[in-house]
Every structure is written in C-alpha cells, then in structure tokens.
Amino acid sequence: MFRFCLILICWCIVSEFSSALAFEKAISFPKRSARIVSGNIRFTSIAQEEKISGSGKLITGKVDPKGKTLDIEIDLRDFKTGNRLRDLHLHDNYLESEDFPYAKYRGKILSFEEDSGKTKVIGTLSLHGKEKHDFLIEGTLSADEGRENFLRFSASFPVRLSDFSISIPSLLSLKLSENIEVSTEILLEEVE
C-alpha cells in the first residue's frame, strides 16, 4: 500500500509539473496591435555547383489582431551575401533593387494554435514589380523570453524566382537555383 501511495504522489507531482510547463509554453494571440521592432531575413540558393546564402535586417511592419492582418516591408538594398561582386550582381542583375527597392507581404492570418504558436498566413507577396497572390507562410509565434509585450515570429518558405520575372541566365543555372529558401526571424512589440 505504501508503494502504491508513493507512486501515486510521484505521478501527481510529475503531472502537475508537466501541466505547468505546457501552460508556460502556451501563447495567446496579441490583443493589441504589434509592430516589427527588428528582424532577420535569410535566403539560400542551393544549386548543383554552388550554395549561396545572404541576409538582410531592414524590415518594418505590423500585425493588426482585430482585422487579423499582417503587413511587412523588407528593404532589399540591405541584402548581402558576404561577397561584394556577388552582391553587385544580386542587386543589379536579379533583384534590380534600385528600381524595386522593397519586397512587401500583405496577408490575412488564417489560423493560430495557442498551444504551439503555429500560425498560417495567406496573402500577396510583391517582389521585383510582380505580385504572387495566395502566398502561404507557415510559422511559429512565441513569447520573447524575459520581455513582456514582445513576441517572436519565425517562418521558412520557398520563393520561386520565375514567379516574379527574375530569370537566371542558362550559363548560371548550375550556380543559382530557381527556388530560393527564405527564413525569417521577426521581433514584434505590442503597442497601444
């Protein structure tokens, strides 16, 4: 009988501890508007002969919880790959960032799971003067540890260059992929 009681007590303690952990991980969708404070956008091209990665940090935007909308604007002129000549080609030949300096995403939040923070957004991605409608982004919204009213949104998604009239010369098709993997890490602050 003593052994049974000891097992029951241990089980109750473990169950209570597990419930507390699950509660701490749960996150509620913001009730107030949130603005983007900072972000990091990384992109990777994996082609047959070369892997090219780069990133940019100039990002602005907001989340409207009432309308369940998300607006993001990324300054493409900030994108760098770590190689000056490659950066020059990226901006002059592909992104044409002097003519099209921003990528924009305007989306509607389809779903949000409070227990996991999984979020689905569908919207329009504008890049290189073209728009791709019904562009789905799936990511995770989480609390920023130790900072009240701050949230993090992270997501990864593919972007097909031809959807935005960005063509790859046949000579470079072994070095530059048609499909670019984009990953984001965005810090949001709830505001009044």
Which tens digit of pLDDT belongs to each residue from 29-85?
Answer: 778 899 999 999 999 999 999 999 999 999 999 999 899 999 999 999 999 999 999
**Which of the four pLDDT bands, split at 50, 70 and 90, describes residue 26?**
low
Domain ranges of the chain: 29-190
pLDDT of 23 > 70? The answer is: no
Q: Which residue carries 């890490």 as its tokens?
A: 185
Residue 161 confidence (pLDDT): 95
Predicted confidence (pLDDT) per residue in 113-143, tens digit: 998 999 999 999 999 999 999 999 999 999 8
Highest mean predicted confidence (pLDDT) among 5-9, 26-30, 100-104: 100-104
Q: What is the CATH number of domain 29-190?
A: 2.40.128.110
Buried b / exposed e over 107-140, threshold 16 CB at 10 Å, is bebeebeeeebebbbebebbbbeeeeeebebebe
Closest to 51 measured CA to CA, from 169, 155, 180, 149: 180
Q: Would the pTM of this model clear 0.85, i.e. be above it?
A: no
Residue 7 confidence (pLDDT): 40
Residue 147 confidence (pLDDT): 84
